[in-house]
Amino acid sequence: MRFFSRDNPFRIGIAAFVALGVLGAFILVISVIPFGVATYHAELPHTAGLRVKEGVQIAGVEVGEVKKLAVAGKHVNVDFTVDKDIRLGAQATASVKVGTLLGTHFLAVVPQGGGTLPNDTIPLARTSVPFNLQDVIDEGTESVDELDGAKIAESLSVVGDTLKAAGPNLEPAFKGVTRISEVITKRDDQIAELLKASRSISTQLSDSTGDLTALMRESNLVIDELLKRRKAIRNLLSDVSSITSTLNQILDDNADKFGPMLKDLDAITTALNARDDQLRAALHNLAVTSRYFANAIGDGPFINLYVPENLPDKARCGIPGTC
């Protein structure tokens, strides 16, 4: 207790300095030593823009980060970390991928094979980068070597001669292009209005897409119903044709019977036509008679008829009970 007493401020300062040093060392150890991750190495033809602290992904999931990049002869060594619970396998591969349009990258690792990765290193044969400038130069050199310089020079000479010959004709064409450009510039406001109207029409069509779709669906229903009706009509026509064929067959089979019957029917019709006036008069008289008879019996269970009295009163009173 004396060592840390208020009377010894020097000792208190030493103790505080030691405590701060131990705390700093602890923080440094935590930041440097990776806990819960395993460190692996990969050999790349070049970095392809890969930087320290960029991510390491497996199947699109970030599982670590790039810790170090170092040149080793004709290739680049990359130190990266991966979660300890992930096994890369003896045939694991690695490739540098472009992460975003802003230029960020990541190291894509694909676990393959069983066992463990030898020396925790993915060799150069199983790594790849987005492009290799040396390969592009080599392939381009071979292509350039295959070109025939004399023919190229001859082609360029022919093109030059053609342009010289067509010079007077090209000038009006260029003037026409210039005039078109001037017209477009002068009509800029009108073109803007046209584009605006086109945008409005496009928006209206886009908003009406649902209605048009519904209309087309309803049209499909109408067409389906018409097809059903058409099929029904076809079936009806087929049935009518079958009935007609059957009737024709019946008529053919019974022609000897229908002939006399039709002749008798014709004779009856002729006789009725001949008695038409007599039948019409008889029906008329029958109607008048029926009307009078209905009037006579219409007010009771008896017939009201007018009978004139022909007997004198004395003779009638002679009958008992009449006077």
In a domain, 1, yes or no: yes
pLDDT of the residue at 37: 83
Both 203 and 213 in one domain: the answer is: no
- Asked whether residue 144 is domain-assigned, the answer is no
How many other CB atoms are there within 10 angstroms of residue 49's CB atom? 15
CB burial class (10 A; 0-12, 13-18, 19+) of residue 122?
buried
Q: Which range of residues forms the domain containing residue 76?
A: 36-136
Cα gap 323→310, rounded to integer Å: 16
126 and 42 in a common domain: yes
Residue 74 domain-assigned (yes or no): yes
Same domain, 116 and 159: no
* Pair 57, 117 in one domain: yes
State the DSSP string of 70-82. Answer: EEETTEEEEEEEE
Token pair for 178: 């210039």
- On whether residue 21 sits in a domain, the answer given is yes
Same domain for 116 and 42, yes or no, is yes
Whether residues 45 and 132 share a domain: the answer is yes
Distance CA 262, CA 269 (A): 10
Q: How many C-beta neighbours within 10 Å does residue 310 have?
A: 6
145: in domain: no
Q: Are residues 9 and 58 in the same domain?
A: no
Angle (CA) 168-170-174 rounded to 5° is: 125
Query: Rounded to whole angstroms, what are the CA distances from 114 to 5, 86, 90, 120?
Result: 64, 12, 6, 14
Which pLDDT value is given to residue 208? 72
State which of 73, 106, 136 marks the end of a domain. Answer: 136
Q: Are 73 and 128 contained in the same domain? A: yes
Written in H, E and C, the secondary structure of 8-41 is: CHHHHHHHHHHHHHHHHHHHHHHHHCCCCEEEEE
Residue 143 included in any domain: no
Residuewise pLDDT in 10s, the chain (323 residues): 455 555 566 666 677 777 777 777 767 656 555 567 888 999 998 888 889 999 999 988 899 999 999 998 889 999 999 988 888 889 999 999 888 767 788 999 999 988 888 888 999 999 988 765 555 566 666 666 676 677 777 777 777 777 777 667 767 777 777 787 777 777 777 877 887 887 778 777 777 777 777 777 777 788 888 888 888 888 888 888 888 888 878 777 777 776 777 777 778 888 777 777 777 777 777 777 777 766 666 665 555 555 455 555 555 555 555 55
113 in the same domain as 90: yes
Q: Are residues 47 and 82 in the same domain?
A: yes
pLDDT at 293: 67
Examine residue 147 and state whether it is found in any structural domain, yes or no: no
This prediction's pTM: 0.36
Q: Are 106 and 100 in contact (CB under 8 A)?
A: no
Domains contained in the chain, number: 5
pLDDT given at position 1 = 47
Is the domain of 47 the same as that of 95? yes
Q: What angle do CA 213, 216, 221 make, to 5 degrees?
A: 130
- DSSP state letter for 307: -
Cα distance between residue 138 and residue 45, in whole Å: 15
Is residue 66 situated within a structural domain?
yes
Q: Are residues 50 and 73 in the same domain?
A: yes
